[in-house]
Amino acid sequence: MHSCSANCTKSSSCTIALDTLSERNRGPRAFKPRSHATEKASVVDNHQKALADVHSESYNQVDFATDYKDAKFFVIKSYSEDNVHKSIKYGVWASTPNGNKKLDAAYREAKENHGTCPIFLLFSVNASAQFCGVAEMVGPVDFDKNVDFWQQDKWSGKFPVKWHIIKDVPNSQFRHIVLENNDNKPVTNSRDTQEVELEHGVEMLGIFKNFESYSSILDDFHFYEERQKVMQVRKSRPQVRVASAPVVGVNERNLAPFSNDMIKKMSNSFAEAVSLKENERGHPRSHLLQDMMGAEPEKRSWQ
């Protein structure tokens, strides 16, 4: 097994990790205290290393535009931060079949009718109690091509994205935004690919840009890199399916299957024993024995 990064402290409980490979809504950064200056310094170092790991792309820029008169916004709910890590690393995303169709239709409509109407994706991981970034959909969905690096294999198709903001912003910063097109629920209660109207989407961009955050998934990028390596090894191993015998009783153990010769010998021995016993009683063979030995069953009459 791979070990956690040296950036993970004992208090951050790196034992959460690589051997479980369950879906994660937060990385080790969620267990780090925020009050220590050393932690803040390490966050900066982690950001710099993470940026190098993802080809030195620029995020959280001060000149990022947040005021749009024509734009579309969608909430993206990810099952795990592992998939967000892959999206940042490879610049792609994939939704459910219905989600892909919805986003593809919005992208094509924006390009055909509006020309310069951007499609912004507001990312949040399920049960994380926060949003984790903003990406822009920069191309249509390719329904015929899949990628194999998602944590689960059920996602099909893919489309290119460009990440603009990567930071942890708690739900409390957005909860006052109520979506009329979603039964007046807070935007924090949205499902995947829930559309956000222009006014609220622009407001969310402003909150993302101006919120002072000391953490992001970039802090855990090495952690998710190691998890990806382990997942790739596991996926590359041949899947061995072990057939088990049916359970007859609660306390009975499964037995190894018998060979045909052994079954034949057991049947013959059983037949001889039954014949001997029934000859002593003067009765014919039972129907059960005839069925076992392949004999034609007699007509049964039950009283």
pLDDT score of 41: 47
Pairing of strands 72-78, 119-125: parallel
pLDDT in tens, 161-202: 999 999 999 999 999 999 999 999 999 999 999 999 999 999
pLDDT score of 260: 58
pLDDT score of 162: 97
CATH of the domain at 209: 3.10.590.10
pLDDT > 80? residue 38: no
Please check whether residue 134 is in contact with residue 208, taking contact to mean a CB–CB distance below 8 angstroms: yes
pLDDT score of 145: 83
- Which is higher by pLDDT, 68 or 19? 68
User: What is the Cα–Cα distance from 140 to 180, expressed in whole angstroms?
Assistant: 27
For residue 295, name the pLDDT band (cuts at 50, 70, 90).
Answer: very low
Residues paired with residue 169 on neighbouring β-strands, in sequence order: 131
- Which is higher by pLDDT, 115 or 266? 115
User: What is the Cα–Cα distance from 263 to 301, expressed in whole angstroms?
Assistant: 31
pLDDT in tens, 106-148: 999 999 876 789 999 999 999 999 999 999 999 999 998 888 7
Do residues 264 and 228 share a domain?
A: no
Stretch 268-290: mean pLDDT: 48
Q: Which domain holds residue 53?
A: 10-235
For residue 23, name the pLDDT band (cuts at 50, 70, 90).
Answer: confident
Do residues 155 and 282 share a domain?
A: no
User: What is the Cα–Cα distance from 82 to 63, expressed in whole angstroms?
Assistant: 29
pLDDT in tens, 61-92: 999 999 999 999 999 999 999 999 999 999 99
For the chain, percent of residues with pLDDT exceeding 90:
50
Mean pLDDT is highest, among 2-11, 41-50, 119-128, 287-296, for: 119-128
User: What is the Cα–Cα distance from 54 to 100, expressed in whole angstroms?
Assistant: 25
* DSSP letter string, 114-180: ISS--EEEEEEETTSSEEEEEEEE-S--BTT---S-SSSTT---BEEEEEEEEEEEEGGGTTT-EEG
The tokens describing 58, both together, are 């620029």
119 CA to centre of own chain: 24
Inside any domain, residue 299:
no
Do residues 227 and 92 share a domain?
A: yes
Inside any domain, residue 283:
yes
Q: Compute the Cα dihedral for 100, 103, 106, 107 and give only its sign.
A: negative
pLDDT score of 235: 79
Do residues 183 and 264 share a domain?
A: no
**What domain count does the chain have?**
2
Do residues 189 and 286 share a domain?
A: no
Stretch 50-61: mean pLDDT: 64
The mean pLDDT value of the chain amounts to: 77
User: What is the Cα–Cα distance from 254 to 243, expressed in whole angstroms?
Assistant: 10
User: What is the Cα–Cα distance from 290 to 62, expressed in whole angstroms?
Assistant: 88
Do residues 115 and 181 share a domain?
A: yes
Inside any domain, residue 249:
no
Inside any domain, residue 18:
yes
The per-residue b/e assignment along 264-289, b for 16 or more CB within 10 angstroms, e otherwise, is eeeeeeeeeebeeeeeeeeeebeeeb
The tokens describing 213, both together, are 């955050």
Do residues 214 and 271 share a domain?
A: no
Do residues 118 and 192 share a domain?
A: yes
pLDDT > 50? residue 13: no
Inside any domain, residue 242:
no
Do residues 78 and 201 share a domain?
A: yes
The tokens describing 116, both together, are 């310069």
For 32, 41, 169, 210, 267, the CA distances from 215, given in Å and listed in that order, are 10, 11, 9, 14, 71
Inside any domain, residue 119:
yes
Report yes or no on whether pTM surpasses 0.75.
no
For residue 227, name the pLDDT band (cuts at 50, 70, 90).
Answer: very high
Do residues 266 and 230 share a domain?
A: no
Cβ burial, residue 11 (10 Å; 0-12/13-18/19+):
exposed
Inside any domain, residue 245:
no
Do residues 198 and 286 share a domain?
A: no
pLDDT score of 298: 39
Inside any domain, residue 194:
yes
Number of H helices, E strands in the chain: 7, 8
Nearest of 186, 71, 77, 80 to residue 137 by alpha carbon = 71
Do residues 69 and 153 share a domain?
A: yes
